[in-house]
Structure formats: C-alpha cells, structure tokens
Structure 1
Amino acid sequence: MKTLPMIPSIRGLLTGDRRGRHAVPRAASVPALLFFAVATFSVFFLRSFQWSPIFSFGSATCDPTRGQWVRDPDARPYYTNATCAFIEGYQNCMKHGKPSLEFLRWRWRPYGCGELERFDAARFFGLVRGRSILFVGDSLASSHVRSLVCVLSQVEKPARSRAGSFDHWRFPAHEFAVVFFWTPFQVRWRLTRGPPLAVGPDRQGEVFAGPSDLHLDEPDQRWTSAARDHDYVVVSASHWFARPAVYYRGGRAVGCHGCCVTGNVTALKPQYAQQAAFRTVLRTLAGMDGFRGTAILRTVAPTHYENGGWFDGGECTATQPTDPEDPAEVAEPEAEFYRAQVEEFKAAEQLARRNGVRLRLMDVTKIMLRRPDGHPDRYGHGPGEHDGFDIDCLHWCLPGPIDLWNELLIQILARG
C-alpha cells in the first residue's frame, strides 16, 4: 500500500442543480442486566478503541465494517454501461475494455450477521418518498451519486437538470430527488491566485496545482445554506487536502502546506486542515437551525497504487480482493484522515443528538482497502484520451465495489 498520490487534473466531472425540499410525509431483546454490563464495559473500558456503527440485520446486530469480500460466481451488477447513461468516462471500465470483469463477482459479508442484503430500489424508494438527499464532496462523492442514480434508474429514469453549482436528478413517480454539490474542501475556499469566490469542477486542474485559501472555521455557505432544504446530507472529502493550501482562521492566515512560510504563517500538515474542516462542517450540520434530518459522513476510500505513484509508473493490476488473512493497513496520510474523521464525528454526535439531528457514520475505509481490483487502472479512457493522468487507482469502476455504499446507505436510512 503506497502513500497518497496526487491527481494532476480531473476536469469536467460534475456540476449540479439547487432545489427546495419535497413535501415530507413523515431486535432481538437483551436482558437488562446484560445490557447494562455490556454498556458499562463499553463506556469505561473501550473508549480508546475505534467507534463503529452498529446496524440490525433481521434478528442479528452487527458491525458492517468488519467482514470480508467473498466470491459469488453468480453475482450480477445492478446496472451496466448499457443500462445506465450517467456513468462518466473515467469510471466506465466496461466501455474501455478492462480485461477482467472478475471484480464484479464479489460481495461484502459482515462477520457474525449473515448476508448483507442486496440493494432493493423499490424498498429504497419506499423509505425516501417525498424526500431528497444532498451529496457534498469531490469526484468520489460524484461516483457515489452516479452509482446510486444508476441503480435507481433501473426502476425509474430520472429527469436531470443543472443550476449553479448543483446537479439534480428527479424521480417524479417516487417523489424523490438526488442532488450533488462539488467541493474538494467543504469549508469556504478559493484559489489563492484566482477569483474571490470558489471555482467549479471545470477548473479542477487549477485547484490541483494550487495553492488554495481554506477558511477552516467557516462552512461553505453555498451548500450549507441549501442543506436544510434536504432530508439527508452525505458529506465526504479527503484527498484534495493533500494539495498546496494556505490555512485561515478568523480571517487570518495561520499556516500552510506546500507553500512558502513567511511571517506568522507556519508549515502545517494537511491532516490538520482536514480535521479542522470536518470539525466545522459536522458541527455546523449538527447545530444547524431548521435542519432535523439525517447527516451522514462517509469516510475516506483508500488508493491502491503499487510500484510507484501517479507520475512514476504506479499501477493497480490486482484482479481480486486482498486475502482476508492479510493484515492490510491504511497508509498515511489516508490513515490520519480516517482517524480525524472518526474523531470529529464522535465529537459532533452529542451536539447533533441534543438538536434533534441524526448524525451517522458510513465507515467504508477498511472495506475498500481490500478492493485493489476495483479501480480503472489504465481502463478509464480510450487510447490517447486520458484527462491529465494515464493510470487511475483512486477512482472506482462503475459498476463496481462502491455499489456496496448504496447497500450501506439503505441500512442507515432504514435505521432512522
């Protein structure tokens, strides 16, 4: 597992459409003493361990983040590039001739709780009728949106529209909408040598080159002002924090990464900025006036470059998940990004509960760590068509392993 590579350019992936809220129609028993003993042990003896989400699956209660990928030769993808028109070129491994489709023959099996149910679009629509979901993040968030829309489009073809910085897919027969807002940082930001406001995804190459100004204590009002109009908000972003940036607090530069250090501005690690940004974003959602919905944090999805990185011959040629017995570990700085996300989630959860906001964690980091076979590698483009990088071990094929995120999403929404 290599350290985090950088993306030279990812332009033109997605923009979006802003909208108002839809009208919203709104286990097994455990002996009390045993429950008290387990809870007491958890509080006093396990506080230093990683918090994990617990879901109910029928009569069992389990942690879906602990398990293994098992081969299913009869598995079929929820959609293909022939049945979904929303797959971007850089994700379209089928179109670009990925030589093995073995990566579609695996399913995630959590330990101790049987099979994780396949995504049921009819059930999902039943849960979300009259509601809307807003995804906020970078190109990986865009990939999650495309995955969800592709699955749902097998039941109802959505009407797509775009306005400002928002992309919008409406499913009128089910009174549901999916909205996407592109941002690599989620807090207020701008190109240091660019216009006074943040730019859109069409200028991602400039953002990559940087530096950018990140106001770590100020949420990006472009999307937070719209969040209360939605019933569900999914936030995620990590990789872009590794790019050059100047960090601000209270309107004053306090540090930077990958830039010249002058005056009172000191060199800071990107993990510092990522943790501060998520602290701002999660506490904003947890305490947002008028928002009584569900906010979901999706954790970082690791990259899988081997034998180099973006610029020096790195590749990801694996054709199956890693061996469950292999003690694979998340590399830095992604491991630090992950720890920071979980820490800030735990800190914001109590505030959310007091304010009537449901704050949930979609922990995908260690699940996706074991899927080095699910990236486009060199099959995210045709010959001579690559968009600034030739081999992609950051994004994921669609269809592909991240379709699991929808299976986790429906469990979170069903949990309430």
Structure 2
Amino acid sequence: MATPMIHLFSSLLLCSTFLCFFHCTLSLLDPEDEAGILVQPDDVKMVQSNRDSRKICDFSVGKWVYDDSYPLYDSDCPYLSSVVTCQKNGRPDSDYQKWKWKPTSCTLPSRFDALRFLGRMRRKRIVLVGDSMMRNQWESLVCLVQGVIPIGRKRVTYNGPAMAFHAMDFETSIEFFWAPLLVEVKKGSENKRIVHLDLIEENARYWRGVDILVFDSAHWWTHSDQTSSWDYYMEGNNLIRNMSAMVAYERGLSTWARWVDQNLDPLRTKVIFRSMSSRHNRENGWKCQNEKQPLPFLRQVHVPEPLVVLEGVVKRMRFPVYVEDITRMTEVRRDGHPSVYMRVIGEDEREKQGKGLSSDCSHWCLPGVPDIWNEMLSALL
C-alpha cells in the first residue's frame, strides 16, 4: 500500500512545482533585458471597481520594443477605413508598425493567435462602444481575426449606430456601437443639440445580453467650443448652458456606471473600459507630422484629468470593471498617427507638408498601435 501513496505524493509535488514555475514565468520579467522605449510608473495603480478582487496584470507600465516580425496583417485588410491605411495612402516609412508593447509586471503572448482567440470567443458577442478611436480598435480587431476565416464564412452587417463582423463558423460577432458620449444626445427646440447627462437607455438597450463589453469615452467631452458636438447639457428638467467639461464627464460616466451596476450580470458579462488614447496635435503643443519613432522613455507621464475622473467613477462601482489604461503607453507614440496620410496625396502635395495640409494626430494608422490594445484585450479575456 505504500507504493501508491509514494506515487500520489510524487505527482502532487510535480504539479506544485509546475504551477510555481508557471506563476514565476508570468511574474518575473526583467525590464532591462531588451532595448526599448520605457514608460515608468507615476504612482501607477491598477484600477478596478471595489468588488473585483481578481489579480489581473497592470499592462499600463512597460516599454515599446522593436519587433521585426510585426505587423500582424497589412493595409490591404478589406475592413479598414481609408483614413487609417497610411501605407496605401503613401506614407513612406513603416517602422511605426513594428513596435510591440512589453509590460513590466507580466507577459503578453508573443503574437496574437487569431484561431485561439476565436475559439475562446465561440458563441459570444463582443461589443466595442464609443467614439472613432474605438472604431479604430474595432477595425484592428476585425483585421487581426479575419485572415483565418474562409471567404464566404465572414460578413459585416449594419443596424443603425451599430456594425458587426460575423465569424459564422464560430458563431461569434465583433461589433462596434457608436456612442461617443455614452449618454444620450437629442435635438431640442431650435434644433439645439442637448447632452442628457442622466439618460442612457436609448444607447444601453443595445448592450443587453452581450458577453464582452469594451467602452471608451473621453475625446468628445474634451472638445473645445469651436468643435463641440452639442449646445447644452441637461439633467432632469434643468437645462445647463455652462459646465466644466470634467464635471460633465464625471456625471455622464456616473450615469453609465449606475446602468452597468443595475443591469448587467458579472457572471454573464465582462466589462472593460479603455482609457483615452493620447492626442499629439497643436493643442498639446506639437504635431505628429514627420515623426518616425516613439519618443525617448518618459520616467514621469502626466496623468490627464479624464483618466483621473474615470478611475474615480470605476472605484465606486459594485460591478467588476477593468480599466485598460492605454493613455500612458500611447503618450510616447506620436509616430503612429496618420498625420497627412489620412488620404492619398501626390508628390507635389508632399512638398507642401506643414503649409496648409490638414494633419490627423488623434487617430492611429493601421496596422499599428491599436493592434497592441487588442493583444492586451485578448490577454485580459
């Protein structure tokens, strides 16, 4: 009888050793083992709602490492908007496609595995909700997976503010829902546009029954008076003409948070909120035009006010929400924007760069930076 007990003890010891090795492999990563563009923490904390006790890697701290095996697809992907196909639009350099994010405290898979991702997402709905930066991410995710799906077994459908990519053999949909403020915007008297800070159901009814929800909302809240997409705010019956943008943002996010707490089941739905991606335009003091490499490492990255507001709202929630902080990692990637290559330009126009041509320093070229957000998303799921 002693021999079986010895075998049992040996098996348990072997399993324990393997699990310890697996855990250590995830947690021991030397930040100095490769040259790269480093983003150091500035009192960084992984932010989750109070009731979420899971220990998930904080991807926000790490470095950009050049990887010649990238990109993961090319700009011929049929689901890309023309404004982000920088190579097709004539951008002469391509190194911006070859930077991979390497977190300090854990590892990301070496490459995005489309078949594995689709296998894990079988019979699930993934909905990305937000503004044009979220559409940027949706197009990236669709291009990352579509190459392994046979022609005729994938399609895109449209339904009002939503569009959906269907991987039919997996019964999986990857959807984008346009709601840049999350809360409702309606036309009032004299055709005035009114942001209802306490109303969300008109948008949120599309989010019921979804397996994975990814949100973003910040850019539109920070628009100046000249580019604002509304005329007034409203709470209840109170019409508000002037309000601090960040006060309004906090109230709108609080409406979103209450809806999530009251209407979603954490056993059914995972919720991730992606933070604001960095813009590198004139308002920030410089432009992205002609930038070909990430900035040198930043030991202290300014934490923008929208991220502070978002973290505060999420911390008060009951529902387990993970904040995917991409603000710091995108701060150094001024090279990744379309700049003047948001459309095809001729040789004569290129010579006039900086002399009247418009330059997009908010959205991102694809393939490019948003592919990394989706590698992070895959790891989180």
Q: Tell me which residue corresponds to 2:249.
A: 274
Partner Cα separation in structure 2 for residue 166 and residue 155 of structure 1: 24
Contact residue 168 and residue 180 of structure 1 kept, 8 A? yes
**Rg bigger for which structure?**
2
Which of 68, 71, 85 aligns to 2:63? It is: 68
Q: Tell me which residue corresponds to 2:372.
A: 404
TM-superposed CA distance for 1:112, in Å, is 3.9
Look up the equivalent residue of 1:102 and give its one-letter code: D
Partner Cα separation in structure 2 for residue 366 and residue 100 of structure 1: 24
Which of 178, 198, 201 aligns to 1:217? It is: 198
Secondary structure (helix, strand or coil) at the match of 1:178 reads strand
Partner Cα separation in structure 2 for residue 79 and residue 104 of structure 1: 10
Does 2:164 align with 1:168? yes
TM-superposed CA distance for 1:226, in Å, is 2.1
Does 2:287 align with 1:295? no
Partner Cα separation in structure 2 for residue 139 and residue 395 of structure 1: 8
Which of 121, 124, 143 aligns to 2:117? It is: 124
User: Where do 5+ consecutive residues of structure 1 fail to align?
Assistant: 1-26, 30-47, 55-59, 196-210, 257-266, 353-357
Which of 232, 245, 248 aligns to 1:246? It is: 232
Contact residue 62 and residue 111 of structure 1 kept, 8 A? no
Secondary structure (helix, strand or coil) at the match of 1:179 reads strand
Query: Per-residue displacement from partner, 1:283-334 (whole Å, max 9, x unpaired)?
Result: 21122056731111110001012xx359x9944332111112453435xxxx
- Count of matched residue positions in the alignment of Structure 1 and Structure 2: 319
Q: Tell me which residue corresponds to 1:394.
A: 362
The TM-score, its normalising length taken from structure 1, stands at: 0.70
Contact residue 288 and residue 334 of structure 2 kept, 8 A? no
Contact residue 114 and residue 148 of structure 2 kept, 8 A? yes
Map 1:47-58 to 2 at 5 A: 50-52=44-46
Look up the equivalent residue of 1:184 and give its one-letter code: P
Map 1:5-404 to 2 at 5 A: 28=20, 50-52=44-46, 62-72=57-67, 74-82=68-76, 84-114=77-107, 116-156=109-149, 158-192=154-188, 212-219=193-200, 221-243=201-223, 244=228, 245-253=231-239, 255-256=240-241, 267-288=242-263, 292-305=268-281, 308-309=282-283, 314-325=287-298, 327-330=300-303, 335-348=304-317, 351-352=318-319, 358-383=320-345, 390-404=358-372
Contact residue 126 and residue 212 of structure 2 kept, 8 A? yes
The TM-score, its normalising length taken from structure 2, stands at: 0.76
Contact residue 69 and residue 108 of structure 1 kept, 8 A? yes
Query: Per-residue displacement from partner, 1:340-382 (whole Å, max 9, x unpaired)?
Result: 111111111xx11xxxxx4222111101111111000100112
Partner Cα separation in structure 2 for residue 89 and residue 224 of structure 1: 29
TM-superposed CA distance for 1:151, in Å, is 0.6
Contact residue 131 and residue 216 of structure 2 kept, 8 A? yes
Query: Per-residue displacement from partner, 1:47-89 (whole Å, max 9, x unpaired)?
Result: x9653169xxxxx9742211111122x222111122x101101
Look up the equivalent residue of 1:79 and give its one-letter code: Y
Partner Cα separation in structure 2 for residue 163 and residue 115 of structure 1: 34
Judged with a 3 Å threshold, the aligned counterparts in structure 2 of structure 1 residues 340 and 50 are, in CA distance, closer, same or farther, namely: farther
Judged with a 3 Å threshold, the aligned counterparts in structure 2 of structure 1 residues 165 and 62 are, in CA distance, closer, same or farther, namely: closer
